[in-house]
Amino acid sequence: MGLAILCSGGDAPGMNAAIKKFVDYLQKRGETPYLIYDGLEGLIDGRIKKAAHEDVAGILHRGGSVIRSSRSKRFYEYAYRQQAYTNLKKHGIEGLVVLGGDGSFCAMARFCGEFPVRVVGIPTTIDNDIYGTDYALGVDTALNTIRDALDKIYDTASSFNRAFVVEVMGHQSGYLTALSAIASGAEICVIPEKEFQISLAQERLKKEISQGRRYILALVAEGTGRTEEIARWIEKSLHFETRVTILGHIQRGGVPTSYDRMMAFEFAVMAVDYLLDHPTSNVVTVFYEGQFALKKIEEVANKRAPLQQKYIAMLDRLD
């Protein structure tokens, strides 16, 4: 059986670890692995290659994706999805492993509903907003990258008696921001999932300033769109010289942590086993309540995971 792997949407650390394990494990099981380059765009254009050992040798520790990724507007059109299926047939590929997020799974749910292709999705996004799983590839590495940046920002904030407002990625999810605020001891955390009450924060911080506080760290989730607003408020009302730092795409790169490599291993093996041993259904590998499992792709696609209440409760104690 020919099986292929592709990356779709934003890149995340751990993709290469999953790609390597997919190829190595499929060869061990005596089947033929294929690599699809440039995501859905590459699937449409037929950039498909039978995988050899040299294609995945030495990639385990690398960030990003050696087979690259893409977002595809063309895939919304039936003619291009049909072209993608024709390309799979040319190579005798019957199943796909897709590293991606919600948009990718929505596209695959539609694709495998139209054509006889079986799909297993592996949740891969630093946003950690995929429904039905507590974890997605790349999250641990992104959190460590953010923590390292915040530790360095704390150094300069305390040295110059300044406030720093740091914008954290996550699309419409406050997961990265919330956990980073908790882990770094930030004084302010602004996320979409929790109302930020400026009056209460101002009262608390003014009291702390009167008692000797000389710096402030505020984390703001990009999805709130409030980064500049929070910076202006701190400067005007709390009278701190304020700097804005947008961490940006450094959060999506970097050497994957040991945890992300282990998760990539588990997800990839599950995906291969399912495609080889189960003749029906299209699923997503998940890690839920401490257990690995599979969920139908229709249960996962087009939904967004809420921020767990336990993290919101921890932010309440941070305040």
**Tens of pLDDT, residues 129-175:** 999 999 999 999 999 999 999 999 999 998 998 999 999 999 999 99
Give the model's pLDDT for residue 317: 77
Beta carbons of 3 and 93 less than 8 angstroms apart: yes
Helix (H) or strand (E) holding 158: helix 139-160
Question: Catalytic pick from 38, 127, 140, 260?
Answer: 127
Rounded to an integer, what distance in angstroms lies between the CA atom of residue 72 and that of residue 39?
A: 8
Nearest-10 Cα torsion for 61, 67, 72, 76: -110
How far from each other are the two terminal CA atoms of the chain, in whole angstroms? 55
Beta carbons of 12 and 125 less than 8 angstroms apart: yes
Q: Per DSSP, which regions of 66-181 are E strands?
A: 93-100, 118-123, 162-168
| Residue-wise pLDDT tens digits, 49-61 | 999 999 999 999 9
Helix (H) or strand (E) holding 198: helix 198-210
Give the model's pLDDT for residue 319: 66
Percentage of the chain modeled with pLDDT above 70: 100
Beta carbons of 1 and 279 less than 8 angstroms apart: no
**Domains, the chain, ordered by start:** 2-138+256-306 (3.40.50.450), 140-252 (3.40.50.460)
Give the model's pLDDT for residue 40: 98
Q: Is the pLDDT of residue 1 over 90?
A: no
Average pLDDT, the chain: 96
Predicted structure pTM score: 0.96
Single-letter amino acid code for the residue at 165: V
| Residue-wise pLDDT tens digits, 247-299 | 999 999 999 999 999 999 999 999 999 999 987 789 999 999 999 999 999 99
Rounded to an integer, what distance in angstroms lies between the CA atom of residue 232 and that of residue 238?
A: 10
| Residue-wise pLDDT tens digits, 78-88 | 999 999 999 99
Q: Is 127 an annotated catalytic residue?
A: yes
Phi, psi of 143 (to 5 degrees): -60, -40
